[in-house]
Structure 1
Amino acid sequence: MVDLPERRPPTRQGLLAGRYRLGARRGSSVEAAAFEAVDEQLQRDVLVKIVHPDLTAQRRVRGALEATVAALADLHHPNLAALLDHGLATWNGQEVLYVVSEHLTGGSLRDLIDRGRTLTPSQAVVVGLDACKALDALHRRGIFHGDVRPATIVFGADRRLRLVDAGVTFLAIEATGGVVKRSNDVARYTAPEIASGAGAQPRSDVYSLCLALVEAITGTVPFVGDSTVATLANRVDRLLPVSADLGALAPVLERAGRPDPEDRSTAAEFGRALVQAAEHMPRPEPLPLLVSSLFSPSGADAAPVREHEPAPAPAPEPQPQPQPQPQPGAVVEPPAVPGEPLPPPTGPAPAADAMPPIQPAESTAAISLTTLTGGDEAPAAAAVGGPAVEGELLDEADEFPDPPPAAGPSRRWFIALLAVLAVAGGLLAWYNTRPDELLVPEVTGMEADAARNVLADFTVVAVEEASESVPVGQVIRTDPTGNTRADKGSTVTMYVSTGPAPRVLPELTGLTLSDAKAKLEGMGLVVELADPVYDESVPNGTVISWSVPESPSLTAGATVLIGTTVRLVTSAGPAPRTVPDLTGMTLEQATATLASVGLQITQLADEYSDLPVGQVVRQDPAVGASAERGATIGVALSKGPEMVSLPPLTGLNHDQVRAALENAGFVVGTVYGNTSLPLNKTVVDGQEVTAGFTAPKGTVVDLVYIPDEPEPTTTTVAP
């Protein structure tokens, strides 16, 4: 383990920590910058990552970074970039934390994708398995990588994959505000649990690796939005879309990309699943990396030396360079591709009997399971098609060929004979070992487990698929289809129903109730009606709001299972109005009063009334009645009291007098005297009135039947 000093000031001009001469900048971000550099002490190329001074100055962040780097320095794995040095130094006048790792020249998976190259599923298995080895080693040490993406999957000149930036970048990102505030490039590969704020865990690395492999195969990353927030939101609670065209790799990626980390593979389980899938896949071609080699990238042999040509002079022996000694338990691997130079020795050479010879593969591919779980828990190797060295993905092109013998005339006939015999023997072997052709049984509609038993003569790959008509767990179809012929042992893809596909909730607000019900019921969802509510702006019968009672936070665009209940709240229109009392108001006052409560006014015919002229004497509907908003209320205005004339009453008896007065609109008041006598006079308010007198209708008239006193007679006596 490398000790971390309190500070290593520069002792030589222009060198970081007195040792590293910085070169070209390889990349930078808010949290760190990476530089190509030369280790002047050991005279070798390295990569130096300098953490931003502001982060270095934060005690919590600095402590977490130092602890992670120290743990990584003690971890040696062939698929993790070697951490060579780390510490504190002064850079541009500020104290920074720096990390030195090996310089890898084979490019990254990001470089390969950016060149327009994609991987075959078989190549993706090779990349994924090496990455799983690295992640499993990290997770067993309690280290979370946190930034698995094509840019951190890097290849060395030996064509071996290494994960870089383990742990360091993620801690820096968290310190600068979390992944939501980082670039969309980081968010493209972030697991749903991190996006939802649940926190990172080892299986988050598995999700990120799964997305990186999907992009390497298809060229695109699922769920990517226009912004970091959109990208993170798109993948929460959503299943990873994996094409069945990936064959045996499809279910492996589907499990590694599940949104719930509890349902997701661990790194070890992911690696074992990749090995099992490889048994049903063709041999991968070498990755199209940009590395120099004595041989072609395909692993083909160099051209043989022609006869009579002098052999080339041997290359001078390279001078060994000082290298750091490996820690106990360090793994040192030979290059995986023929023609690549061996790395400088890091320890004493093993004894001859300690290195088992690599046997030629007996088939086109040989893949075995790496010891992902370690110790006694390591699973048994599952070789495909022939023996394989434990822990390696072997390829015939990766074996070093023996030097070709000189081709002289005396041997040519023998070589030709061997070639003919080889061809004939190959044809005979092919004829004798060709697979039997069998009829693929029809298993559509059967339960998946029963169908597997029926298809026992074939290699069955089950792929889950949604179906509206086939019950969950039953077979929808097979490829090849039933009752067709296929080689015994060949792959039969069995599509198993997961039931109806999740329904995408539509936007229902603003639809009429009938339209909303038709849309939901057509999707197989259940409609529940809540009590309508009054609304001043939404028309009666229109959906105001909706919700899913089981998950009230769901909105349009979210997915639910068939049969989910959706509650609709519709508008009952504007609330009813209570008709106010308008009596005694002028027309203008009544109009304003009705308008304030959303009612209108209409004028009825004027009526006689004791109220002053122009005031409301009557309204329809009456006071306190209920009316809809916008309803019309009728009002009648006063035109004052009605005037009537006193009719002639002379010569009428009492009954006739009473009838005549009442018919004219008068009211009979006090009757004086004997009514059998003729009517003497009519009196209103103490004043005698006669026929033709006008007064308001309803005026009281008193009747006097008492004869007048005769005037005294004066007798004049003549003198």
Structure 2
Amino acid sequence: MSSTLTDPLLGRVIDGRYEVRERIAAGGMATVYLAFDRRLERDIALKVMHRHLEVDPNSREFVARFRREAKAAARLTHPGVVRVYDQGIDQDISYLTMEYVDGENLREVLAHEATLPLGVALSTVEHVLDALGSAHRQGLVHQDVKPENVLIDSEGRPRVADFGLARAVTEVTSSTSGTILGTVAYLGPELISNGVSDARTDVYAAGVLLYELITGRQPHTGTTAIQVATKHVHDDVPAPSSVVAWLPTEIDDLIAALTARDPDQRPQDAGAALQLVRRTHGLLDEPTLDRRADPPSGATPVVRDDDATAVLTTASPGSTVALPIGLGHPFPAVGTDLAALPDDDPEAREPKRTERRAGWWIAAVMVALLVLGGGGLWWYNSIGPGAYTTVPSVVSETEDDATAIIRGAGLTPSVEHAFDDDVPEGIVISATPAAQERVLNNAIVTITVSDGPRMTTVPKLVGEQQDDAEARLEELGLPLGEVEGKSSDTVPEGEVMSISPAAGESVRHDTPVDLVVSSGPAPIEFPDVADMTEADAVALLEDEYALDVTVDHARTEDADKGIVFAQSPAAGDAGHRLDSITITVSDGPPLVTVDDYVGMEVDAAESAARAAGLDVQLYAFWPWSSKGSIVDQSLIPGNQVERGTTITFKYN
């Protein structure tokens, strides 16, 4: 037998854009439909809020909070988060449009698997914590982590959905009706007791989720949601090894850390929790990680039959319920019928009164009621619940909107400003007291508004020594960027030649400033100028190497006159531009002193002259002369001449 429930939204076009095609799921806060975005021509998931969440007098506040949370969720771009595309209101419908993930959620996986292998469970929670960590770093809390909100896409990757919805609803309901909406099996003790949550509340829910994936059951159970919530407040989550005996103590310790009742004893956010889970994962061997717990008693595989009659249970394991705030305190639960409380003495009988005194009693009772009523009214408005209000959430609002929201809540805004690198100028960074805290009416709520990133003017650093420039940057709080050494013939070594950004430019305080610092003259190898003329050698050394050239002269037989025959430093030695070099230029062969050879025998004079370095030519004074003695010589005795100069001897 098949039955069909007609949904009035099926076939409707929301906001003139989203064509509702199929109902996917329904929960305590919203119904999810598969819709088609006519504008972008793609399938999307359309989440429509239940009407009871928008009923006056709180609909405006709900819509405002819902819009803010949707905007915050839309900023998340983590691959493990289901993207939020759009948010809006069409007549009586408040809706979100989200990325459509074609696949199962973890609740459906557990329905046919019962439990997951230990390694798969740890990896799944790691993906969930990684996605939550990206939200926590932006100050966004999920507040409804549960298997229904973890979707498994077609590639088997976990994706976290529903950011911001539970928080938006709870902020309104807790401040007006004294209740919170949530999935009771995963609510943190602090949320149940005080209606206050932060990133650690998501960590608690992730710990409960891990417990359920491993053991196949939830840690706290009861016949009513109140019983389960009370256990969260008063009882520790049991060790999973008490249910699955083979589980190692590392898993017990991990679950205990994630689900500590005192939020201060848990990891401070999902990022810290992720590190803890990964560390535990790495301590376990492969056989243990591949093992899975036996299905819990009573678990049966899910058999799908589309023609079977559907049975609606009163509350599924992941359903959203309303709970009174303050279950951790010894007071009757919200909604308790005082007439149902036990009578102190059921046998007692009211004494009979005489008719004469009845009038006095009636008058006395009326006076007492008036006094008590007036006193009660004074107490309620002065020091009782009526004297207090809940601080609204204004983080991420503009300054004007935030002050208007605070005044609308009966509180007095006080504005402070601070620089912030991440929050745009004019947007509220934080509020003191924080959102959801209970304060006296007209109390001052101090909001800190972002002035954007602090800007700093880049100082003049060119011409300063590197150490002085770096100290100046540190003094101004500007980080030092890259320091590049560059050779220079004109800037002394260690002096700043240029900077980027330029001096006088206004930049963010965290902008690195790059320096180009002189490393002095460039290193060189001294060139070989031997066998060059003096002019050529000087031109090369001065023009191309910027060297300080000193020219010496000396006589040598190794080089012609005017040719360089020596240098210091030698060719190939290491040096720098602007260094000094000395070259030695030949002035010709060495000089010799001419002796007086007149009167000497020809052979003796010739031998002596050649030994002195002179070339000798002989001429006979007479044609008939024989080699007797020298009678004349061509060079004047005592003069100096170059070695190799020719001397002519005449003999008789």
- Tell me the TM-score range normalised by the shorter chain: 0.3 to 0.5
Using the size of structure 1 for normalisation, the TM-score is 0.36
The structure showing larger relative contact order (alpha-carbon pairs under 8 Å, at least 6 residues apart) is 2
Using the size of structure 2 for normalisation, the TM-score is 0.39
Kindly indicate which of the two structures has a greater share of residues assigned to helix.
2
